Amino acid sequence: MTVDRLLPTEDGADLVELAHEIAVAELAPCAAAAEAAGQFPREKLRMLGEAGVLGLPYPEELGGSGQPYEVYLQVLEELASAWMTVGLAVSVHVMSLYPLATFGTGSQRARYLPDLVGGQRLGAYALSEAQAGSDIAGMTTRAERAAEGYDISGAKAWITHGGVADFYTAFVRTGEDESGISCFHLPAPALGLTFGAPEHKMGLNASPTTALYLDAVHVDDDQLLGAEGQGMKIALAALDSGRLGIAACATGLAQAALDLAVGYAKERVQFGRPIAELQGLQFLLAEMAAAVDTARACYLQGARRRDAGLSFTRDAAVAKMVATDMAMRVTTDAVQVLGGYGYTRDFPAERYMREAKVTQIFEGTNQIQRLVIGRQLLRTPVGGSGGIPPGSNS
């Protein structure tokens, strides 16, 4: 990856360099074969946990590294540039920890977090439902009060890490309106918890995506994260951070496509000279590079506002929209630069293009991001800075 980065601390620079070394030595050589075979990289994630990557943005007292979010996201970009499935897995896992780390009690954090930030246990985020993807208020999965704890019944859809995760951060209905959604830490396996067959997807084939079925799955009272009815706030706050993660992953994927295109253009000879000398191609590569740089600036803007304790809902939506639309465009252009070779599986350009598409869909489609941005703008007084609290997406 050819990126000259500015990091806020010397430790941050060292961590990004470590991530780059891991990406080059451990991830890139495995990616194509594992994607073709649909092999989930569980051991790679365990290795990243042991290296401290999975706890980067969480405080040291919780077992993390206490790094700024802008450091974590640039680490994530490095990983995704080598293997998008791994970048996505880290992003989803770190997002799934957010409710526990932020809203959990001291005893809950002490009980669950050490194994989670250390990579021994892998998380998933169970929010979407088949008929309520981005409409959180439309969910129907319900937790009913039992003699002790709750019994949860219903179904979740499009769960990244479905069937392979060791716990699910699950959002379910405990009341009748938006204030009646609650968040639970749901360990797996559990009696009554089953999964659908993995979805047959266009890309990211090494990352399992399944439905999650709950048939009176019992959870104890101490598996409720935050207060009953606080789930909507928790879900939206986690999604803000998760959208920055997807933006960083999309930027890494596009950077890999750009690097591939530049390398090919330097080597490919037509009419007695490298095609990189053709002005038209130079202009295309320049546009690709400018788009990648713009996306990186967007996600770093959101991260820096988050690190400063400022509202970043709109910034996260902008970053997710800009970076993922850019990734689709840049990976498509990379296929064009490689010509016929770009359309074959002898080069990774076609895989990059297939993987880019879903980034415009998950963590809220880019149409939803436009809705979030528009609503944030209309809530902001003319000439004002906003003051919208983090996590207020609608």
Q: pLDDT tens digits, residue range 72-122?
A: 999 999 999 999 999 999 999 999 999 999 999 999 999 999 999 998 999
Alpha-helix residue ranges (DSSP H) falling in 157-271: 231-267
> pLDDT tens digit string along 323-350?
999 999 999 999 999 999 999 999 999 9
Provide the strand spans (E) within 244-386.
269-270, 273-274
pLDDT at residue 136 above 90? no
Average pLDDT over residues 56-60: 94
In three-state secondary structure terms, 145 is strand
Residue 178: the pLDDT is 66
**123-229 adopts what CATH topology?**
Butyryl-CoA Dehydrogenase, subunit A; domain 2 (2.40.110)
**233-379 adopts what CATH topology?**
Butyryl-CoA Dehydrogenase, subunit A; domain 3 (1.20.140)
> pLDDT tens digit string along 156-165?
999 999 999 9
Report the Cα–Cα distance between both ends of the chain, in Å, rounded: 37
Residue 16: the pLDDT is 95
Residue 4: the pLDDT is 81
For tokens 């009690």, the residue is: 105
Residue 391: the pLDDT is 39
Residue 389: the pLDDT is 38
- At the top level of CATH, which class does the domain 10-117 belong to? mainly alpha
Is the Cβ–Cβ distance between 326 and 295 less than 8 Å?
yes
Here the tokens at position 280 are 């038209």
Average pLDDT over residues 13-31: 96
Residue 385: the pLDDT is 40
Residue 381: the pLDDT is 62
SS3 sequence of 19-52: HHHHHHHHHHHHHHHHHHHCCCCHHHHHHHHHCC
Question: What is the average pLDDT value for the chain, to the nearest integer?
Answer: 93
Is the Cβ–Cβ distance between 41 and 96 less than 8 Å?
no
Residue 378: the pLDDT is 92
Q: What amino acid positions are annotated as catalytic residues? A: 363
Query: What burial class does residue 261 get, using C-beta atoms within 10 Å of its C-beta: 0-12 exposed, 13-18 middle, 19+ buried?
Result: buried
Strands 193-195 and 209-219 turn out to be antiparallel
Q: Where are the domains of the chain?
A: 10-117, 123-229, 233-379
pTM of the model: 0.93
Q: Determine the residue type at 80.
A: A
Contacts of 118 (CB under 8 A, 6+ apart): 49, 50, 54, 55, 63
Quick one: which H or E segment has residue 291? helix 279-307
Q: How would DSSP label each residue in 46-104? A: HHHHHTTGGGTTS-GGGTS----HHHHHHHHHHHHHH-HHHHHHHHHHHHHHHHHHHHS
> Is-cis flag, bond preceding 198, omega within 30?
no
pLDDT at residue 140 above 80? yes
pLDDT at residue 169 above 90? yes
For tokens 């304790």, the residue is: 309
